[in-house]
Amino acid sequence: MKPLTHSALILLAFVVFPTLAWGQAKPDRKPNVLFIAVDDLNHWVGYLGRNEQTRTPNIDKLAARGVSFSRSYCAAPVCNPSRAALMSGLRPATTGVYDNNNDWRPVVSPEKCLPATFRNAGYVAYGAGKIYHGGFDRKEEWNEYLKNEGPEPKPKGNDGVGGIKFAPLDCKDEDLADYRIADWCIDKLRQKQDKPFFLSCGFHKPHMPWNVPQKWYDKFPLESIKLPPHIEGDLKDVPPAGVKMAKPEGDHAAILASGRWKDAVQGYLAAIAYCDMNVGRLIDALDKSEYRDNTIIVFWGDHGWHLGEKEHWRKFALWEESTRAPLIWVAPGVTKAGLCERTVDFMSIYPTLTDLCGIPTPTHVEGKSIRALLENPKAEWNTPAMTTFHFNNHAVRSEGWRYIRYADGGEELYDEAKDPLEYTNVAGHTENAKIKAELGKVMPTKNQPDAADKATGGAGKGKGKKKAADE
C-alpha cells in the first residue's frame, strides 16, 4: 500500500475531525453570526434559577450547548441606551445617550456600529425586529432589513392595570409580529449564502403589552402564581435618588390597589413562554441548515425588569432585577457547555464577536473580549460589570458586591453573597469603605451631558422622563 500524499492526509483530517476550529476547517470562510436580541427579558429564564415558575425550554436547551452567564448585566436599564451602547461599543457616559428620548444617531456614526464592522470585513448583514430602539432605527446599516412586521392583534376587555399592560389574545401564534420576525430570519437560514452572514433577530416579547394567545396564559394558572420575593418597607434604607427611580407611588401602588399583582406576573410569564417558542423555532432552523457547524450564536436581553421587587415595576433603576439579563454564547470550536459565574456586561459582546470572527476590533470600542471565558468559563476574570442610568448614576457589580453611586452622592452597597435579594443597604458601614473605593474606580470620571439636553437647550431632560415612563 502506497503512503498517503500530503493532500490526502489533509482531506482525511477534515473528514475525521469535522469540529476543528473554523480557521482550520474552512480557511476561506469566516464564521456566520446569529445575533438574537430579546426585549425586556429579565433573569426569569430556567438556567438562571431566579424564578421556578418560568418555562423556557428552548432558551435552556441553547444554554446547555454553549457558555451561559449567571452574572451578565446591561450597560443601561433602558431600551435605547442599552442597545445603542451594545451596538456601537460606546458606553452611555461617553455618548450622553441615557434614555429613550436620546437620538443616538447624531453622536454615533454608522461606521462605528457592529453591522458596518462586519460588512467591511466581507459579511452580508441582515436584520429583523427590534435591534435598535424603535424610532431611532438606522436600517441602512444592514444589507437587508425586514420592512414590515405586520399588525398586532388587540385584546378584548380589560388590558391590565394602568401602564402595566397584559391580556390574553384570541388568536394564533403566527398572528403576532415576533412569529413573522422569526419566519423572516428562518428564510435567510434556508437560503444559499455566498458570503458569511451577520443575521440579527430582535424579538419584542416580553416587552409590554404582554398580549399573547390564551394558551400561553393557560400554562400558568392564576391560582398557582407566586409573587416575586419582596419585603414591606424595602426602600427605607435607599437614598432619595434611588427612591425617586423606584416611583413606589406609581405602578406599584396601582398594582396593589387593583389586587392584580398575580395577574401581571402571569402575563409576564406567558409572554416569556411565547418568546421562548420563537427562539426554539429559530434555533431549530439553524440546526437544520447547512450553517449549523459554522455559526456563532449570541443570545442576549437588553436589560432586566422589576415586577414589584423594591416596590418598583419596569426597568429604569440600578438594582439587580433591572440590570441583569441572560447572555448565552455558542461558538463552534471554541465553547464547551458550561455555566460561567464571572461578572460581565454587554459591552463585551461587540469585541467578543470581532475576536471570534477574526475581525480587527475598532479602537473606539470600550468593552473587553470575553473569549477567554468562552474557552474556559472558570478562567480568572477581574473586570466588574457597570450599568448607567441617567447622568452620573452608576452601578458596579462584582461577583460579591453591587455598589451604586448616584449623581448627588447617595450610595447603596449590597453583599450579594449574603443578601442576593438586595434587602439591606450596607453602604454606611465603615468596614465597607475599601470595597466602595475599589468598585468606585470602575465608574467613569467623565460623563457627557444628556444628549437630549444638549440638543434642546435643557428641554430634553423632562421629555426623557416622560418617554421613559411610557415605555
Residue 312, pLDDT above cutoff 50: yes
pLDDT in tens, 92-119: 999 999 999 999 999 999 999 999 999 9
pLDDT in tens, 259-311: 999 999 999 999 999 999 999 999 999 999 999 999 999 999 999 999 999 99
pLDDT in tens, 237-248: 999 999 999 999
**Catalytic, out of 79, 113, 201, 275:** 79
Q: Does the annotation mark 230 as catalytic? A: no
pLDDT in tens, 49-102: 999 999 999 999 999 999 999 999 999 999 999 999 999 999 999 999 999 999
**Catalytic, out of 43, 74, 113, 133:** 133
Provide CATH code, domain 26-385.
3.40.720.10
Q: Higher pLDDT residue, 468 or 234? A: 234
For the chain, the three-class secondary structure string (H helix, E strand, C coil) is CCCCCHHHHHHHHHHHCCCCCHHHHCCCCCCEEEEEEECCCCCCCHHHCCCCCCCCHHHHHHHHCCEEEEEEECCCCCHHHHHHHHHHCCCHHHHCCCCCCCCCCCCCCHHHCHHHHHHHCCCEEEEEECCCCCCCCCHHHCCEECCCCCCCCCCCCCCEECCEEEEEECCCHHHCHHHHHHHHHHHHHHCCCCCCEEEEEEECCCCCCEEEEHHHHHCCCHHHCCCCCCCCCCCCCCCHHHHHHHCHHHHHHHHHHHCCHHHHHHHHHHHHHHHHHHHHHHHHHHHHCCCHHHEEEEEEECCCCEECHHHCEECCCCCHHHHECCEEEECCCCCCCEEEEEEEEHHHHHHHHHHHHCCCCCCCCCCCCCHHHHHCCCCCCCCCEEEECCCCCEEEECCCEEEEECCCCCEEEEECCCCCCCCCCCCCCHHHHHHHHHHHCCCCCCCCCCHHHHHHCCCHHHHHHHHHHHC
Residue 13, pLDDT above cutoff 90: no
Percent of the chain with pLDDT over 70: 90
Residue 123, pLDDT above cutoff 50: yes
Residue 5, pLDDT above cutoff 80: no
**pLDDT attached to residue 29:** 81
**pLDDT attached to residue 266:** 98
Mean pLDDT for the chain overall: 92
pLDDT in tens, 376-407: 999 999 999 999 999 999 999 999 999 999 99
Residue 26, pLDDT above cutoff 70: no
Q: Does the annotation mark 79 as catalytic? A: yes
**pLDDT attached to residue 456:** 52
